[in-house]
Amino acid sequence: MIEILQYGFMQRAFIAGMLIALVCATIGVFLVLRRMALLGDGLAHISFGGIAAGMFFNVYPLVSALAFSVLGALGIQKLKQMKVYGDAAIAIFFSFGLAIGVVLVSLSHGFNADLFSYLFGSILAVSETDILLILGVGIATLAALLLFYKELFYASFDEESAQAAGIPVGRLNTMLIVLTAVAVVLSMRIVGILLVSSFIAIPASTALLMRRSFKQTIVIAAAIAIMSVIVGLVLAYYMDLAAGGAIVLVLVAVFSAALLHTKLHAR
Amino acid sequence: MDKGKKETVLELSNVSFSYGENLVLDDATFKVERGDFAGMIGPNGAGKTTLVKLIFGLLALDRGSIRLFGTDVGKFKEWQRIGYVPQKATSFDQNFPATVFEVASMGRFPKAGLMRQLSREDYMAVEKALGVVGMLELRNSRIGDLSGGQQQRVFIARALAAEPELLILDEPTVGVDAEAQHSFYSLLRQLNRELGMTLLLISHDVGMVAKNVNKLVCVNIKVTFHDISKGINKADLSCAYPAGMELVPHHHDRAVK
């Protein structure tokens, strides 16, 4: 355990992984309760276009991915306001982002392992710059969630009453999906584009099985996510596994155990 | 309370509203004064919920004006002075992870303001509101684990926690059993008489409403207004129903004349 922390890349993976877990699990509780668990997946695919664009035009890929993801999030919100169904709006932008990515990849006649590191995550590829970006933006995202915690809670529970009480529900919804867009991009370095939504959907769904208060649900979701990152990274290091996959398998194992526990106790 | 000079809490003048070509409300005029227990009745689809949305400024008026505490609805900012118990309040996601106390505390959120934590004073107001509706003992229960009647009390506590001056309840007894409805109306009477709370109760249950309120607003596209504090007659109620429909009085304290 001590040995594993001697390596710079493992230290970076732990720091980034735990912060991302905290941010995504918190956002996840709000999204899962709003039946928007797959929004993260959609935004991750949109940001694939951003990664490819970054590589093609020689821009720092996480920054171009952030731009694609946030613009995609705002676009989805805009389409919803124009009466396009929410899941269809996600599907449209999802395909759009992915198509841009595929076209750019074909134009450059294939990128290389670098692109794969974004698709599947690679802790070895997490650079000092990545860490600084993840820390800075991750902490800002967390601060925004904490500052608007009670309003997000109210609007998730009962949008109509929250609106009648003068809470700016529309702007809060936009903020939540923009924060999701940001969280997704931060996560892709560790778990990869294809597995990003796991951090959003699984810890929240596991915590919801425990039937606690709202505050406890968020704390439990965050704890499950952070613990899964630690266990997953340790397993990945000692068993030479892909870190993203290992973390997600741990998350699924915890969820399954919680589900089994609930089923047994329900009888 | 000074009976001679009552403050007008809510005033509608010649309000009309259409969804496209479809006229939903035509020329609604009525007022609710401080200390009133006003009832709004009318069949389903008569425009009651539209009227509530207009009062909260969620829809724009076609014609006429709505004033809240003397201020035009378009300029009104002090929404914490109005409490709201929504229609289908109890049809929320029953698996939602929230305790009775957490739900009731939502009522203090607008008062505390954006980006602020609730204060000690806020928590005390929440406890007091839960006490008034008799739900303080269940404060740590999950909202979804309660009966419909209990949930409804929590939603009233949420509205009361904001210490509103006017409480608007939209079809609050839908999905609640008869016994719970009975104790619900006695809770409303208590709020009105003992705490002096001004109430506007929207319902399609003519009998229960007519029995409890002192002012009656009948909505059926056309809106008529009746002061029934000195008694009630058939015409007061029939306004909300199509011509020719018979009224069958049942379980009334005050007989329909």
3-state secondary structure chain A: CCHHHHCHHHHHHHHHHHHHHHHHHHHHHHHHHCCCCCHHHHHHHHHHHHHHHHHHHCCCHHHHHHHHHHHHHHHHHHHHHCCCCHHHHHHHHHHHHHHHHHHHHHHCCCCCHHHHHHHHCCHHHCCHHHHHHHHHHHHHHHHHHHHCHHHHHHHHHCHHHHHHCCCCHHHHHHHHHHHHHHHHHHHHCCCCHHHHHHHHHHHHHHHHHCCCCHHHHHHHHHHHHHHHHHHHHHHHHHHCCCHHHHHHHHHHHHHHHHHHHHHHHHC
Asked whether the beta carbons of residue B98 and residue A213 sit closer than 8 angstroms, the reply is: yes
The predicted-structure confidence for B16-66, as pLDDT tens digits, reads as follows: 998 888 888 888 888 899 999 999 888 777 788 888 889 988 888 888 999
**Which residue of A148, A154, A214 is in closest CB contact with B97?**
A214
CATH of A3-266, one of 3.50.50.60, 1.10.3470.10, 3.40.50.150, 1.20.58.340: 1.10.3470.10
B93/A147 Cβ within 8 A: no
B257 inside domain:
no
**Is residue B255 one of the residues assigned to a domain?**
no
Q: Which of A241, A240, A254 is nearest to A21 (CA)?
A: A254
Give the per-residue pLDDT at B257.
Answer: 40
Residue B228: predicted pLDDT: 76
Inter-chain CB proximity A158 and B79 less than 8 Å: no
How many domains is chain B built from? 1
Structural domain containing residue B45: 8-238
CB atoms within 10 A of CB A99: 13
Q: Is residue B243 part of a domain?
A: no
A150 interfacial to chain B (CB closer than 8 Å) = yes
CATH of the domain at B49: 3.40.50.300
In a domain, B170, yes or no: yes
Structural domain includes residue B216: yes
* B132 lies in some domain: yes
Q: Which residues of A touch B86 (CB under 8 A)?
A: 158, 160-161, 164
Query: Is residue B3, in this structure, part of any structural domain at all?
Result: no
Give contacts of A217 with chain B, Cβ < 8 Å.
97
Look at B103 and B184; give whichever has higher pLDDT. Answer: B103
For chain A, what percent of residues have pLDDT higher than 90?
A: 72
Of A21-30, A97-106, B46-55, B103-112, the poorest mean pLDDT is in B46-55
In this complex, do B103 and A213 lie within 8 Å of one another by their Cβ atoms? Answer: no
Any domain includes B248: no
Q: B65-74, B97-106, B217-226: which has the minimum mean pLDDT?
A: B217-226
How far off is chain B from A117, nearest CA to CA, in Å? 37
Residues of chain A above pLDDT 70, percent: 98
A157 and B86: CB-CB below 8 Å? Answer: no
Phi, psi of B190 (to 5 degrees): -60, -45
For B95, the closest chain A residue by CA position comes to A211
Q: Using CB atoms within 10 A of its CB, is residue B231 exposed (0-12), middle (13-18) or buried (19+)?
A: exposed
Give B-chain residues touching A157 at CB under 8 angstroms. Answer: 92, 96, 98, 103, 106
Mutation to test the A interface, candidates B53, B93, B109, B151, most A Cβ within 10 Å: B109
Chain A residues touching residue B102 (CB < 8 angstroms): 153, 213-215
* CA–CA separation, B32 and A52 (whole Å): 62
Q: Give CA–CA dist B159/A226, Å, rounded.
A: 37
Higher-confidence residue: A225 or B93?
A: A225
| Angle made by CA atoms A73, A145, A185, in degrees to the nearest 5 | 40
pLDDT number for residue B205: 79
Task: Check whether B254 has a pLDDT greater than 60.
Answer: no
The per-residue pLDDT for range A142-197, each reduced to its tens digit, is 999 999 999 999 999 988 888 878 889 999 999 999 999 999 999 988 889 988 88
- A151-155, A177-181, A263-267, B228-232: range with lowest mean pLDDT: B228-232
CA–CA gap between residue A142 and residue A27 (Å, rounded):
9
Take residue B58 and report the two structure tokens written for it: 């969620």
Average pLDDT over residues B204-224: 81
pLDDT, position B4: 56
Q: What is the DSSP string of B195-244?
A: S--EEEEEES-HHHHHHH-SEEEEEESEEEEEE-TT---HHHHHTTS-TT
pLDDT digits (tens, 9 = 90+) for B156-167: 999 999 999 999
Q: What is the pLDDT of residue B255?
A: 43
Residue A221: predicted pLDDT: 98
